[in-house]
Amino acid sequence: MRYEVPTAFLSKEIMRVLQAHRGRQNAMPRRDLWARLTLFNPRLSDRDLREIYSRLPVCSCPEGLFIPATADEVREFKEYIRKSWGPIVAHRRVATIVAYYPKLDPTVWKQQELGL
């Protein structure tokens, strides 16, 4: 029987690797991240990778994956994901990010700008 690497380990490894990829300008191509993770699990598919990172507080863009550095990046990510997956999934993904990084909540920044 072949040993499978637990998803929890791969999730932690994704977060560890992406610590060096804060901000969209530092996005890591998904293919590069996948190549690193296949060292631990050679049978990891791109679909598996997408399923794992969809539960993590990370953003995706055409250039790859990154940890958001600004509320604007979170806002842009929400719009990007909404176009492909719809408003419910976009809201859920942003809620995950904001739970980990509350200072990046676009609604909080808007309230602060308005003096609320």
Tell me the β-bridge partners of 1: none
Q: Average pLDDT of the chain?
A: 88
**Alpha carbons 55 and 15: distance in angstroms, whole number:** 11
Burial of 96-114, coded b for 16+ CB within 10 Å and e otherwise, reads ebbeeeeebbbeebeeeee
Report domain extents, the chain.
7-114
Tell me, what's the pLDDT at 105? 84
* Band of pLDDT at residue 110, cut at 50, 70 and 90: low
Query: Hey, what's the torsion of the CAs at 51, 54, 59, 63, to 10 degrees?
Result: 20
* C-alpha to C-alpha distance for 115 and 10, rounded to whole angstroms: 41
Question: Does pLDDT of 111 surpass 70?
Answer: no
pTM score of the predicted model = 0.85
The pLDDT, as a whole number, for residue 80 is 95
